[in-house]
Each structure stands twice: as structure tokens, then as C-alpha cells.
Amino acid sequence: MTEPDKIAQEKKYTGPAIDIAIRIGVIALLIVLCFQILRPFISLVIWGAILAIAFYPVCRRLRNVLGGRGKLAAAIITVVMLLGIILPSVRMVGSLVDGVKYINGRIQSSEMTMPPPPDGIEKWPFIGKSLKSEWYDASENLKATLIRFQPQVRAMSLRLLRSAMRTALGLLQFALSIIIAGIFMANAKGSGDMARDLFVRLAGERGADFADISAQTVRAVVKGLLGVAIIQSLLAGTGFVLAGVPGAGLWAFVCLFLAIIQIGILPVVIPVIIYMFSTASTLTAGLLTAWLIPVCLVDNILKPILLGRGAPVPMLVVFLGAIGGFLSMGFIGLFVGAVILSLGFKLLRVWLDELSRPDGQAANLNGISS
């Protein structure tokens, strides 16, 4: 082969390769730029899409009642969600801030006291003696002890304040996500077709099945796990507010957190009841106890109704998703993380079941309700 022929041969192969490399580079650059632009809104859009998937069956039924006016149905649901979630949440944040101020004021005025350390605490390994000494000093003069630990107390106060601010920001993000969900529901056909086409593009001919499984998993987790947690924490928070529990919003938020990660609200309810019996009237404490006991048990009634035959994913997946989402995305990540990890786990299980089915039959949905 002559030298000109070799050069022509190299151009024949290197030219298209360079063109492909340039195209891939431009596409990659475009994707990176789009991601950078949309990054502040990713969690909002994801949670909005999750809410739209979860509430679309309700929107569809309302649309039929309204004579096919889908945009009006989506607007009504959006307004109801904003009023039903945001208003109590704003009240909770206000109570959270008031609770922090109340505790700080009680400490500054020396009204808050600590009981003496219990017997036998000095026998605890490693920390027993030092803990008993510090606890005894705090029970004698709490304000002096706090002054001695002023840097640590100041740092804790700043963390509480930042936490309250993050919670308020999370509620604003929650409201924006609800509006985004309303937009998705108002354009349900286009949004659903786009999502289905994306799954088909990524997963081939089974993409449509994966899209259906994803929608059913999202609805199951939102209704049966997150929905029950929100209902339970709102009911508990209502009881705290009516009974005059100090920092009711703070304890309601802790109830929400514990309910989402599937621990339950008893770790908050029991100390609150003990505190109310020791400080409030017997009637108030008794009424609060009579209210909180059914609230603690309501999840045992609602979860079987909303989840059908069983939870769509193990509780550990929900726990890790909620904790990881909260740490990475803040308040809204508490909800988004649980749904995303549950969805990823469910799709992984379906994919593994597919590998074990040589006949190509569809995998069982494991009791996910639509």
C-alpha cells in the first residue's frame, strides 16, 4: 500500500471517530450544564413528581366528577394540599421557635431545674463518676453549670436555630413542590407519556412495565408510610398544642421524623405524658393521654388499609432512605429519600426476579396497591 493510500485509509477511520468524539463531548457538556442549572430545583421537581404520581388517581376521579376539566381538578387538589399541609406546618415551625425561646428563657430566669442524679449512676462504666458530679452540680445550680459550659450551649443553640431555619426553608420547598405537582397533574397525559417513553428507552421492551411498577411503588410508599406518618404527627401535634405542651411544634416534628423512619412516636409521647402529669392538672394530663394512646395505635389501622397485603419494601430501606435524604437534602429529603430508595430497591428486586424467570413472565408486584 502506497503512502497516499495509507493517509486516505487513516482519514477514512479517524475522521468519523473525531466527529463522534466531538458530538459526545458536546452532549456531555450540555448535560453537565443542564444539571448545574437545574441542581437547586432537582429535589423540588422530584418531590413534585412523587406527589403528582401519588395523587393522580384522586385527580382523575375528581376530573370525572367535574366533567373532564382536568386543570380545574388539579388546581383544587393543589389548593387543598397547600391548606392541609402548609398551614399546620407553619404553626409547627412557629411553635418550634417559641419552644426554643421558652426553654432559653426558663434557663436564664433560673426557673428550670434538674432533679438530683439517680442512685447507682456512679457505677456506670467510664462515665459514671464524672456524669454524677456534673449532674449533681446542675441540679444544685443549673444556670451556673450552663455558664460553665457556655461555648457548648451556644453552639447547641446555634444548631437549633439553624435547624429551625432549615425546617422553615423545607416548608417553603414543600409548598413549591406541591405547586409543581399540580402542574404535572394538570398535564398528566404529556408527563405520563414522557416518563413511559424514558423507561422504554432505558429498559427496552419491559420499560412500560417498570414505569407501572415505579408508579405503584411511589403510591404505596407515599400513602402507606409517609401519609400515615404525617397524619400521626399532625394528630399528636394537635394534642400537644391544645394541652399547652411547651415546644409543641418541636415535639410534633420529632414525632414526624420518628414515624417516617418507622420507629414510632412512643419515644416522644411517653416523656410528654409524664411531664404533663407532673406539671399540669390531672384533667389536662388525662385528656392528653386519652388522645395520644389512640394516636400511637392509628398506624396499625391505617397501614394495612393503605398498603394492602404488606409493605412494598423492608422497613430498613425506608429508614436508610429517610435518614440519608434528610442529611443530604434537608427537610424535604426526609420524604424524597424514603421514596427514591424504596423505588430503587423495588426495581432492583423486579430486575433480579426477571433474571430468574427464563419464560419472561412478569415479576410479582408483592402486594403493591395501585
Q: pLDDT of 230-249, one tens digit each?
A: 888 888 888 888 888 877 77
The answer to whether the CB of 138 falls within 8 A of the CB of 153 is no
Counting other chains too, the contacts that 206-213 makes at CB distance below 8 Å and 24 or more residues apart are: 206/354, 209/362, 210/347, 210/350, 213/346, 213/347, 213/350, 213/365, 213/368
pLDDT recorded at residue 211 = 75
pLDDT recorded at residue 93 = 63
Confidence (pTM): 0.62
pLDDT recorded at residue 164 = 64
Question: Would you write out the chain's pLDDT as a tens digit for each of its 370 residues?
Answer: 566 666 666 666 676 777 788 888 888 999 899 888 888 788 788 888 888 888 888 888 888 888 888 888 888 988 888 887 766 666 666 666 666 666 666 655 555 556 676 666 666 676 767 776 766 666 666 666 666 666 766 676 677 667 667 667 777 777 888 888 888 888 877 777 777 777 777 666 667 777 777 777 777 777 777 788 888 888 888 888 888 887 777 788 888 888 887 788 888 888 888 888 888 888 888 999 999 999 988 887 777 766 655 556 677 787 788 788 877 777 677 777 878 888 888 778 777 776 666 554 544 444 444 4
Report domain extents, the chain. 206-370
DSSP state of 227: I
Cβ neighbors of 149 (< 8 A, separation 6 or more) are none
> CA-to-CA distance for 271 and 286, rounded, in angstroms?
14
CA angle 237, 243, 247 (to 5 degrees): 55
| Residue 297 parent element (H or E) | helix 282-307
pLDDT recorded at residue 367 = 41
Q: Which residues of 73-105 are buried (b: 16+ CB within 10 A; e: fewer)?
A: bbebbbeebeeebeebbebbbebbbebbeebee
pLDDT recorded at residue 291 = 92
> Mapping DSSP to helix (H, G, I), strand (E, B) and coil, where does residue 366 land?
coil
Listing DSSP states for 11-40 in one string gives HHHHHHHHHHHHHHHHHHHHHHHHHHHHGG
pLDDT recorded at residue 360 = 46
The answer to whether the CB of 153 falls within 8 A of the CB of 56 is no
> CA-to-CA distance for 179 and 170, rounded, in angstroms?
14
